[in-house]
Structure 1
């Protein structure tokens, strides 16, 4: 079989516009999903730590529900079932065109597809982030907590300056892995007609049959986005030197308060 590679069929004209639009849409829905997953994780972590038996039970149900059901099924549920339960007025407002709902790159975020994709990705990822953070907190030696209590640290100070920084450092790489998984799992949103990168790649395949070139370009873009995200999170990650300075500072503050 004689293979003929034609990159112009993907990197010019309408196919290039589709690729660009799909890539930018993937970037924006990934950012929205990361922000939502992070916010939900912090809220649920607080509920688990301070909500007593009921709070821990709610978090346990949350984790079990979203970890043990396929993401594609969840996305289909939010788009085809939960969306139809919303009030008609709200659905009509979301379906209307609003100039303020256009993100850079001409990506519309106030659409059923974008909202359901970001919502589903955020909820799904939050269940995994919670478990990663729990493992990171449990990895902190109990002796450090006891030593902090003996030096007069309050419970909040211990969590803020001892447990959380070390727990985040212990869990940072798994947490970054979950964020990267969120980006890659956004490709499943093509199942609800969301025009992200995978959706646009498949559209090019149907448009001019340049399947090899289209999927090759899509793979490179996913790889590039993953490398950029990994480098950014590595730069933003916790550093041991900063943690030591924070502990020293809070110890001095507590000592001054006691005196």
Structure 2
């Protein structure tokens, strides 16, 4: 078989605009999903630690339900099933054109597809982040907890100054892996008609049959985005696993002991 590579069929004209649009849409839905997953993880971690048996039960059900069902099925549920249960007025509002909802790169975020994709990705990823955080907290030596309680730390101060900083250090690399998985799994949102990178690559294939070139460019862009995200997480994340700065006692406690 004689393969003829024609990059101009992908990197020029309408196909190039589709590629750029899909890439930027992937970036924005990844950021939205990451923010939602982070907020949910913090809230549910607090519920697990301070909610007693009931709180731990709720979190356990959350993790089990989301981790043991396929993400594509969840996205289809949010888009086709849960969407229909929203009030009609809210659905009409979301379906209307709102110029203030346009993100840089002409990406509309107030659409059923974007909201369903970001919501589904955020919920799914939060279940995995919760388990990574739990493992990180369990890896903190028990002696540090006992020493902090002996010095009069409250439960909140113990969590804020002792457990959380070291737990994040312990769990950081697995958490980065989950955020990168969120980016890659955004490709499944093509199943609900969300025009992210994979959707646009397949559209180019149907448009001019340049499947090899289109998927090669799409793969390269996913790889580039993953490398950039990994570098940023490494640069801004915890760097010293042995002596995390946030694990030190708060200034008020230090001053109290000095006096």
TM-score (norm 2): 0.96
Shift of 1:87: 1.0
1:99 counterpart residue number: 99
Give, in whole Å, the separation in 1 of the partners of 2:204 and 2:247: 55
**What are the Cα deviations for residues 133-159 of structure 1, in whole angstroms up to 9, with x where unaligned?**
000000011111112223333322221
Q: 1:244 to 1:89 in 2, by over 3 A?
A: closer
2:239 counterpart residue number: 239
149-158 or 133-142: bigger deviation = 149-158
Matched-pair contact (CA < 8 Å) for 1:40–1:126: yes
Aligned-CA RMSD value: 1.5
1:132 and 2:129 are equivalent in the alignment: no
TM-score (norm 1): 0.96
2:22 counterpart residue number: 22
Structure 2 segments unaligned to the other structure (5+ residues): none
Matched-pair contact (CA < 8 Å) for 1:152–1:254: no
1:202 and 2:202 are equivalent in the alignment: yes
Number of residue pairs the alignment of both structures matches: 258
Give, in whole Å, the separation in 2 of the partners of 1:187 and 1:241: 34
1:213 and 2:213 are equivalent in the alignment: yes
Shift of 1:247: 4.2
**What secondary structure sits across from 2:153 in the alignment?**
coil
**What are the Cα deviations for residues 65-123 of structure 1, in whole angstroms up to 9, with x where unaligned?**
10000000000000110001111111111011011010000000010000000000000
Q: 1:244 to 1:93 in 2, by over 3 A?
A: closer
Structure 1 segments unaligned to the other structure (5+ residues): none
Q: 1:247 to 1:88 in 2, by over 3 A?
A: closer
Q: 1:244 to 1:91 in 2, by over 3 A?
A: closer
